[in-house]
């Protein structure tokens, strides 16, 4: 059986050139890409690499890449990352990992932001079974919950709670996380702006018109998708 994540990573490998500064997100497809890049020692040694993911950073360190911290990056040639789902305009939801704030910083720094994954990630419209994750200051819990209910009546606001300890899940940035579930998404541009404007919100997991290209693999082979 074809491993479509592997095939998408192999296609993405061809987009990397010697001497570039690149960013890598998290997940299995990205791990495949990192391993492929490491196989070409000469190419690997020419690259400067950063990551939004702790797991990916550990892998890159083990493979011997030249790593820089995201805080030292102002510009990337290309940033690769996976997602939960994306649509024809390459609007994407990246809710699962809870690291969307760092992912969005690196995506914004990139001349080219490329989504990777299997063909199941591509849908005509974003599927509301996936929530929008919100990272917010701990002191803003009540305000953010109330504002989301006023902005989007009928949504479900679910704070992420830890299964490993008592209390809330805390982000890499020391903030709280919540998932907001919709029956149907409203206008995405308005949603993107309104959620960002809530006092106390650090960021959310809707990547509105940020991606420049998607590389996916499925039963019809590898596809290169551009926003319409």
What positions carry a catalytic annotation?
A: 103
Residue/partner pairs of 27-31 with CB below 8 Å, 24 or more apart: 27/53, 27/81, 27/82, 27/97, 27/117, 28/82, 29/5, 29/82, 29/116, 29/117, 29/118, 30/56, 30/80, 30/81, 30/82, 30/116, 31/55, 31/56, 31/59
Query: Three-state SS across 165-198?
Result: CCCECECCCCCEEEEEECCCCCCHHHHHHHHHCC
Nearest 5°: phi and psi at 153? -60, 140
**Terminal CA-CA length for the chain:** 32
Whether the CB-CB separation of 69 and 43 falls below 8 Å is answered with no
Separation of alpha carbons 49 and 136, rounded Å: 28
Whether the CB-CB separation of 73 and 91 falls below 8 Å is answered with no
């Amino acid at each position: 059986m074809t491993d479509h994540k592997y095939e998408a990573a192999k296609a993405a490998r061809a987009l990397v050139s010697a001497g570039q500064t690149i960013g890598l997100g998290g997940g299995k497809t990205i791990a495949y890409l990192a391993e492929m890049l490491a196989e070409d020692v000469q190419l690997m040694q020419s690259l400067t690499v950063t990551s939004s993911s702790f797991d990916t950073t550990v892998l890159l360190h083990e493979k011997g890449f030249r790593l820089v911290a995201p805080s030292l990056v102002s510009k990337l040639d290309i940033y690769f990352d996976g997602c939960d789902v994306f649509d024809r305009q390459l609007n994407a939801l990246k809710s699962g990992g809870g690291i969307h704030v760092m992912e969005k910083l690196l995506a914004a720094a990139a001349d080219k932001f490329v989504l990777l994954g299997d063909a199941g990630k591509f849908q005509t419209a974003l599927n509301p079974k996936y929530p929008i994750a919100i990272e917010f200051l701990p002191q803003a819990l009540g305000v953010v919950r109330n504002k989301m209910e006023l902005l989007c009546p009928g949504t479900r606001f679910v704070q992420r709670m830890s299964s490993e300890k008592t209390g809330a899940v805390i982000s890499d940035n020391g903030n709280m996380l919540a998932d907001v579930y919709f029956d149907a998404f409203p206008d995405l541009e308005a949603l993107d702006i309104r959620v960002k404007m809530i006092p106390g919100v650090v960021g959310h997991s809707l990547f509105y018109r940020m991606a420049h290209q998607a590389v996916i693999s499925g039963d019809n082979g590898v596809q290169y998708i551009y926003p319409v």
